[in-house]
Structure 1
Amino acid sequence: MNNGFANRMKELRKNKGYTQKKLASLLNIGQTTVANYEQGTRVPDMEKLNKIADLFEVTLDYLLGRSEEIARSTKDAKSKGIDLKTADKVYLNYLLQGDSENARKLIVGFHEDGVNIEYIFFNILDKVLKEVGVLWEKGTVDVWKEHFISEVTIDIMREIKFREKKKNIKSKSMIALNAGAELHNIGLRMISDILDIEGWNVIYLGCNVPVQSVVKAINIEKPKFIAISITLEYHIDSAIYMISAIKNHFGKNSPIIILGGSAFSNYAKVCEKTGADYYARDIDDIRDILKKNKL
């Protein structure tokens, strides 16, 4: 039971975007106690278990790892018979039917019910986009439908981001873009949006930005970091060329370059081969890199 509860506790905390310190404050306990819960060395009493379940809107059985049924107590989810475990399938089905309005209502409804934006982006929207890519490769989905789904998803992301309360820090800066003609940019946009909400001044440039323009942007904005994303392997050379041009131009004053994207999933020693300073697999890797290189 300890391991089941410990894993669920940690998963639920991360899905909400809480730090251990934040969760401890909400539960009126010490941060060390939360850490012990997540390590499985302590289990709360029944009163505290109920408080945790209420906070995360889950059943005690789910919290303790005895059931996979979340049974969220949200009106929107209940009325449609939808929970987080099936949200991606329902969202995909709406979009395949061309029903963008119900797709929007579904995702915005979850956000209004308190589901963390990071969970929505990466566990629902990104998951669906990857599935659509597979369907396109199989010939099940035509390219026009893939574009439609991408555009609807971008609009929903924009709406959810607008609803979020941003931290007003903005002294930390990053330029984010795709290298060369790489057009798969939604994953990087998700990361950029979340970092922007967390207080970073993220200058998102998107796709097809000439290297000379990137150099100009760095000269003017003077970012601490550059995040470059590549999804398809045949764009890796463009990333290498961009990284080389930036480092040759700025020398020791070059911003820290973070490279990511699924193009490197099967690669070893990515930084050695590309000249990047860091390789990030996901947003947690990026957060770790930013933490290591504090302004």
Structure 2
Amino acid sequence: MTGTKIKKYILDNRDDLINKIMDEQEFLLPQEMNRYNSNMMEKVRSDTSSNLNYLAQALAVGEKNIFVNYYSWLYTVLKERGIGIEVLKKHLKAIKNVLYSEFTQKDFNLIKNYLNSAEKEIQNPENHYQSFINENNYLQEKAKIYLNFIINMERERAVKLILDLVDQGTAVDDIYLNIFQQVQYEIGRLWQLNQISIAQEHYATSVTQLAMAQLYPKIFSSYKKGKKVLTGCIGDELHELGVRMVADLLELAGWDTIHLGSNTPPAEILKLLVEKEIDLLAISLTLPDKLELAQDLITKINENTKLSGLKIIVGGRVFLENNNLWQKIGADAFAADAKEAVKVADSLL
């Protein structure tokens, strides 16, 4: 089978595979599984489903790191919540034991290679304890203060800090890159390390969205260069703050932006690209399960003669962690952050 066919088999039979893996885990981890209540068992099922999904998506595009990086992230999340490495290693063994009986030896060897790489990674995990607010950031101290405000749900003080920086002459794009972006990454890291709650994480995002909105009078008063860009997330992708930053900095750089936000059907994107005579499409993907949607959208764009001059930039975590993935799905370019997106956009058109 090809990686795409393996993915289809895994996802088409996911419920049955989950049941078999759960049974195998009860054999490999009898004490732990017997100790779990119904809520914990549901979380185990959910994690197993996610593991199969990431494995399938990684196999489909031939990018092992999609699964390895996810499993390393999961290891840190569970470790900080009291679940040890042996549980995760035996979970991988349960997946291997079940998939061994589902595939030919050749196909299973490919799958096993991905699973073994994940096991190796969690035995020598990347250091997740280093802050994203780095020492080279000249706004480092302001970023730390802003982070403290939003973690403690002090919205007014957080927004005032940003407005004061603007009044003092700090460039808007510097605030976006050195405060908003680094703090949002840091918020995600702190949740991963079990140092803040989901409620705090969501609150932090909402405050940053509010603070960004306060800067719009400066962003939307910039000159215009006569180029249009459409930005957003496709399918049910909900992580839209990053691509919203891209839209704002492109607007600041003179582009006319149409930002669609999260959860946008590909058909609607395609329709707007034609109707509004868009020059550039910028889309963001955090999770790999939207890769097929993105690739299908790009294929349809390339087949549409009315969009022959359109350029496509992609970004988001899944591309950031897999260097050549943007080329595999047919995009024209990749940007690691909002500031780079502006440079790439200007170079393309």
For normalisation by structure 1, the TM-score amounts to 0.67
Unpaired segments ≥5 residues, structure 1: 1-67, 71-82
Tell which deviates more after alignment, 247-256 or 124-133: 247-256
- Answering whether residue 145 of structure 2 is matched by residue 90 of structure 1, we say yes
Alpha-carbon distance, 1:140 to partner: 2.5
Judged with a 3 Å threshold, the aligned counterparts in structure 2 of structure 1 residues 69 and 168 are, in CA distance, closer, same or farther, namely closer
Which residue in 2 is equivalent to 1:219? 274
Taking the aligned partners of 2:277 and 2:136, their CA distance within structure 1 comes to 48
Which of 267, 279, 282 aligns to 2:337? It is 282
- Give the secondary structure class of the aligned counterpart of 1:206: coil
Report the equivalent of 1:5.
none
Instruction: Give the secondary-structure state (helix, strand or coil) at the position aligned to 1:175.
Output: strand
Alignment RMSD = 2.4
Contact 2:233 2:240 in 1 (8 A): yes
Contact 1:243/1:274 (8 A) holds in 2: yes
Distance in 1 of aligned mates of 2:182 and 2:290 = 22
- Tell me, in whole angstroms, the C-alpha distance in 2 between the residues paired with 1:270 and 1:210: 22
1:1-295 alignment, distance < 5 Å: 84-164=139-219, 166-169=221-224, 171-250=226-305, 253=308, 255-294=310-349
Q: TM-score, structure 2 length as denominator? A: 0.57
**Distance in 2 separating the partners of 1:198 and 1:192:** 10
**Residues paired across the two proteins, number:** 215
Identity, in percent, stands at: 29
What does residue 20 of structure 2 align with? none
Instruction: Please tell me whether the aligned partners of residues 247 and 254 of structure 1 are also in contact (alpha carbons under 8 angstroms).
Output: no
- SS of 1:276's equivalent? coil
- SS of 1:140's equivalent in the other structure is coil
The residue type equivalent to 1:124 in the other structure is I
In the alignment, residue 329 of structure 2 is paired with which amino acid? T
**Does the residue aligned with 2:331 lie in a helix, a strand or coil?**
coil
Residues in 2 aligned to 1:144 and 1:183: alpha-carbon distance in whole angstroms: 16
CA offset at residue 239 of structure 1?
1.9
Give, in whole Å, the separation in 1 of the partners of 2:317 and 2:308: 28
Q: Which has the larger radius of gyration?
A: 2
- Which SS does the other structure have where 2:222 is aligned? coil
Shift in CA distance, 86/221, structure 1 to aligned 2, threshold 3 Å: same
Contact 1:228 1:258 in 2 (8 A): yes
Letter in 1 for 2:298: I
Separation in structure 2 between the aligned mates of residue 93 and residue 196 of structure 1, nearest angstrom: 29
Change (3 A) 1:213 1:121: same
Q: Distance in 1 between matches of 2:343 and 2:151?
A: 37
| Structure with higher RCO (Cα < 8 A, 6+ apart) | 2
CA distance in 1, matches of 2:136, 2:346: 36
CA contact (8 A) 1:246 1:254 kept: no
CA contact (8 A) 2:274 2:306 kept: no
Shift of 1:229: 0.9
Q: Which amino acid aligns with 1:136?
A: W
Report the equivalent of 1:47: none
The answer to whether the 8 A contact 1:107-1:156 is kept is: yes
Unaligned 5+ runs, structure 2: 1-134
Tell me the secondary structure at the aligned position of residue 227 of structure 1. strand
